[in-house]
Each structure stands twice: as C-alpha cells, then as structure tokens.
Chain A
Amino acid sequence: MSTTMLTLILLIVMLIAFILSSIKLKSPDISMVVAAVVLAIAGVIAVPELGSPIRYLVEGLFVNLDLAMLFIAASIFVNIYAYSGALSTVTRGIVSKVGNKWVLMSILGILMLLPGAITGAGSISIFVLGGLVDIVLTHLGVNQKKRTVFIFFFAILSAAAPPINLWTMLMCAQANMPYVGFTWLLLIPIIIAGAVCIVYVGWGAKPESKEAILAQLPEKTEGMTWWRILLPVVVIAALFVLAVYAPWNLPVLGLPLMFVISAIVALLCNPKKTTVKDYGEILDNTMEQVFPLVANVLSIGVLQSAMAATGVRGLLGSTFLGLPLILIYCLIVIVGPIMQGCFNYGVSVVLGGPLIFMFNTFGMDVTVICAALSLIFPMGDGLPPSRITGRLACEETKYKGSYTGFLKSALLPMLVLGVIAVIMIVTPATFDFLY
C-alpha cells in the first residue's frame, strides 16, 4: 500500500472518530481529543516506527499551552477591570460625548483593531474591548447577531493588521523573506473590509436617544476617576509597545505576564472596597468562564500533534498544492479558512509556505501574495473545529442562536475581504505601489 493511501485511510479513520464522538458526546473539544487518540493509535498500528502514541498526545497538550495561559491572564485582567466599574464609566463617557452612529461605530472599529494589531491575536481585542463594544452597539439599536458579527469581524481584522501579523511572519520565516513592506498591503484591504462591515452592521439600526441610553447604563462608580480608568490600559499598551519597539532593553515578558501585571494595576486602581474573598470569587468565576476556551485550544493542540505525526496534516497541504492553478485561485478562499479552523496559525506552515514557494517559481510578487494569504487565513478563526474567535465573540454578546446563522450573517464582510485577497493573489503586480 502506498504512503498516500495509508495516510488517506488514517484521515478517514480520524474523521469517523470525530463525527461519532461529536454525535455521542456533543462537545467538539473532547471529540477532537478522541479523534486524536484514535488517529495516534491507528498511526502507530500502521507504522510501528512512530513509537508510543502517548508521546504525541502529551506533546500536543503543550502546543497551545501559552495561548491557554494568555486567555486565562487576559480574562482575569478584563474581569477585574470590569468589576472596578471602569468599563461602564468609559461607556457612559463615549455615549455622552459622541452622538453620530457612524462616527461612534468607526471609533469602536478602530479601537478594536489596536490590541490585536499589537499582539497578533484577535482574541485579545475581544477580551479587552468586546464587552464595551457590545454595550455601545446594543444602545445603537444593533441586533445581537450583528453585534456578534461586528466584534468577530474586527477581531479577525485586528489579528491581520500590522505591525504584528503572525501568518505573514511565519510565511516570511519559511520563505526566507524579510518582514518588510506589508503595512499598507495589509492596512488598505482591512480599512475597506472594515468600512463595509460598519455599513452592513449599522444599516437600519435605530439608536436610542442619548438620555435613554444613559438611563440604561450602570451608574458611575463612586470614586472612579479618569486616571484610574486609563492607568491599567496605558500599562498594558506601554508593555505591548515596549516589547515591539524596545526588545533589547527589557526581559521577554510574554503576553500572559503583561496581562497579569495590568490586572495587578487594575486591582490597585479599583476604588470599590473589595475583600480578598471577593477577588477569590472573581478568579473562580473567571476560570469557569474561560475554561471551555482553554479546553478548546488544548484539544486542538492534541489533534494537530497527532495529525502532524501521522502525516495527515502534510497530506492535506500537498493535495491542495497538486491542484491546477485555476482551481487554487478559486478554492484558496474556501480551503484557507477551513485549514485555519483546523490548524490555527499552523496553516501558514502547512499551506502558506508551500504556496509562496509555488508562486515564486511562477515569478509572481510573493510579498503581495503573502499579504493576501494572511488576509484569507484569519477568516477561519470562526470555523469549526476550533472557531476560537467566533466562539469568543458569541460568548461576549451572549449570543445563543444558531452558530451557522451567525456565520451566514458574517458572510458579506468576509466575502469582501476574500474577494480583495483573491484579486491580490491573481494580479499581484497591480498592488506593487503599496510597498
């Protein structure tokens, strides 16, 4: 039996295990682990040289451990910050100062782009600003589904926005390209798609009167001053900026520690009388709140590790590259996000890197193509099995409707982003002037 056929059988075995456990256990997270266990055992039976399957499964738990710690730390920061009453005070301030719906939505969009652009993770934008954006959009008369779309879409745009775009960085590292010249190539499509999203979400929404909105918002917390509101955010922003622009002058803190430091600052800035027991309760609630996400990223890591060890991951990438060029152009906007849903940033390695090499051999401008691919991949952050950003957006707005319905609502802005990216891939020379 050929290696390809063997790997294909392993892929089918994995899919069957995933589908059956999804039906039986009704949890995509544990289903991914079941599929990974079945795949690892089947892989070792088929190729005994692979060694113990336990090794791949345990290694897989560490693939996204840093991401899990980041989610926990960011959630602790946001929950302490929200508990202090800072978020409600900021919301009151924005609503009372800005009257125009479109201006307000544009400000929210730009604000949401910043945390993800600096950290490279769209989920951070949701953690830091999702709650605030949700409250303001609610009072602007935007329905729950469209609020979720707004938060989700700007979160994925923030992950793709410069200066830190992890997909581009990973592809550049593989192709030995300098990470230079991407700023406008990424920013212009993001601005266009973001504007379309704002119009799409805000169209037809009837804002309540300013007085009515303010009446529904929580009262300003006693003793809450602007410096108490700004200090935790300034600290986290300063740490982000210093890590990017002064890496040699301070130790590598890492995002989780940055959020912990800011959480301590938020705790010190809290004007409410809060006991240690209260903080303990906040921490317990945060852990319960964030656990499904932690389980999700750890489970994805286990599945990724098993797929990499058995060759299933490589099979998916090489099969796509074997297609005729016209099919690659047509399918990249579908296959890219789907693979992002499966591998997260791993898609840059499995699919992005080989595609860059392929287009390079055709003599095409790979800087533009690399930027275009890194606009396509983030759209998969809302797709199963991982759907990290999509899930976070739904949790932030407490959206309980059909997940497919939410994805359908997000289709229009995603289509705009996808079409721009495909045009960039097909005619890269046209976009040379952007760098």
Chain B
Amino acid sequence: MVFLQNLVQIIYYVMAGLIALSLVKSFFKRKKNDNWVYDIMYAYCIIPFLLRVLHIK
C-alpha cells in the first residue's frame, strides 16, 4: 500500500509537469484570448505547477 501511495504521488508530480508544459505552450501559442491580460494570467497560473514539479512547494 505504501508503494502504491508513493506511486500515486509520483503520478501527481508528472501530471503537474504535463499541465505546466501545456500552459507554457498555450502562453506562447494559443487560438483565443491572446491579449496581454491573459499573458499575465498564464504567467502566474504556471507558477504553482512549476513549484510543485520542482518540489519547492
């Protein structure tokens, strides 16, 4: 059970990483909402996912 729980935790880190990558991609290349307000929003929304992947928080 401990192994499975650790595995789930690792999967969540991977998910956070994939979401961060996807947000970075959308930050540079997206079909709609391409004004500067959304640039700022994308920028701060990436932060928690990146910090989670880097094990900082």
| In the complex, A208 has a CB within 8 A of chain B | no
A256 at the interface (CB under 8 A from B): yes
- Does A257 make an interface contact (CB < 8 A)? yes
Chain A residues within an 8 Å CB radius of B45: 68, 291, 294-295, 298
Interface flags, B8-33, vs A, CB<8A=1, else 0: 10011001100100110110001111
* A284 proximity list for chain B (CB < 8 A): 22, 25-26
Q: Compute how far the CA of A68 lies from the CA of B47 in the bound complex, rounded to whole angstroms.
A: 13
A260 and B15 contact, Cβ closer than 8 Å, known pairs A61-B44, A65-B48, A284-B22: yes
Q: Dominant SS at the A interface?
A: helix
- Give chain B residues whose Cβ lies under 8 Å from the Cβ of A33: 44
B55 part of interface (Cβ distance < 8 Å): no
- Pair A61/B47 contact, Cβ less than 8 Å: yes
B57 touches A256 (CB 8 A): no
The B40-57 residues at the A interface (CB cut-off 8 A) are 40-42, 44-45, 47-49, 51-52, 57
In the complex, what residues of A have CB within 8 A of residue B57's CB?
A: 58, 62
- Please report the C-alpha to C-alpha distance between residue A30 and residue B41 in the assembled complex, in whole angstroms: 7
Residues of B within 8 Å of A250, CB to CB, are: 4
**Considering the chains assembled together, what is the distance between the CA atoms of A251 and B10 in angstroms?**
13
Min CB gap B16→A, angstroms: 7
- Asked whether A25 is an interface residue with its Cβ less than 8 Å from the other chain, the reply is yes
The answer to whether A65 touches B33 (Cβ under 8 A) is no
Whether A287 contacts B11 by the Cβ 8 Å rule is no
A106 interface contact, C-beta 8 A: no
Q: State the CA gap A72–B32 with chains docked (Å).
A: 18
What is the interface size of chain B, counting residues whose CB is below 8 A from a CB of the partner? 30
Contact call B30/A30, Cβ cutoff below 8 A? no
Instruction: Number of A interface residues at 8 Å Cβ cutoff, please give it.
Output: 32
The distance in angstroms between the C-alpha atoms of A58 and B52, with both chains bound, is 12
Contacts of B26 in A (CB 8 A): 284, 287-288, 291
By beta carbon, the residue of chain B nearest A248 is B1
Q: Is the CB of B12 within 8 A of A256?
A: yes
B37 partner residues in chain A, CB cutoff 8 A = 25-27, 30
Q: Contacts A58-B57, A69-B19, A298-B48: A257 and B33 contacting too (C-beta < 8 A)?
A: no
Known contacts A251-B8, A287-B26; is A62 also within 8 Å of B48 by CB? yes
What is the CB-to-nearest-CB distance from A375 to chain B, in angstroms, rounded to a whole number? 32
Interface membership of A254, Cβ < 8 A? yes
A69: which of B5, B15, B33, B41 is its contact (CB, 8 Å)? B15
By beta carbon, the residue of chain B nearest A285 is: B31
Query: Is B5 within 8 A of A251, CB to CB?
Result: yes
Q: How far is the CA of A251 from the CA of B3 in the complex (A)?
A: 9
A252 an interface residue at 8 Å Cβ cutoff?
Answer: yes
By beta carbon, the residue of chain A nearest B36 is A25
Given contacts A30-B37, A58-B57, A65-B52, contact A288 B5 (CB under 8 A): no
Q: Is the CB of A257 within 8 A of B44?
A: no
User: Which residues of chain B are near A254, meaning CB under 8 Å?
Assistant: 8, 12
Measured CA separation A257–B13 after assembly (Å):
11
A65 to B57, CA, bound (A): 11
Q: How far is the CA of A298 from the CA of B19 in the complex (A)?
A: 14
A381 at the interface (CB under 8 A from B): no
- The minimal Cβ–Cβ distance linking B13 to chain A, given in whole angstroms, is 11
| B contact residues around A292 at 8 Å (CB) | 33
Please measure, in the bound complex, the distance between the C-alpha atom of A295 and the C-alpha atom of B26, giving whole angstroms.
Answer: 13
CB of A335 within 8 Å of the partner chain: no
**25 A-B residue pairs with CB within 8 Å:** A26-B37, A29-B41, A30-B37, A30-B40, A30-B41, A58-B51, A62-B57, A65-B49, A65-B52, A69-B19, A73-B15, A250-B4, A251-B7, A252-B5, A254-B8, A257-B12, A257-B15, A260-B11, A260-B15, A284-B26, A287-B19, A288-B32, A291-B42, A294-B45, A295-B41
User: Closest 10 interchain pairs by CB?
Assistant: A251-B4, A61-B48, A251-B5, A295-B41, A287-B22, A65-B48, A251-B8, A27-B37, A295-B45, A25-B37
Interface residues of B (CB under 8 A from A): 1, 4-5, 7-8, 11-12, 15-16, 19, 22-23, 25-26, 30-33, 37, 40-42, 44-45, 47-49, 51-52, 57
Q: A62-B48, A68-B48 are in contact. List 15 more A-B contacts (CB 8 A).
A: A30-B40, A58-B57, A65-B52, A69-B19, A73-B15, A251-B4, A253-B8, A260-B11, A260-B15, A283-B22, A287-B26, A288-B30, A288-B31, A295-B41, A298-B45
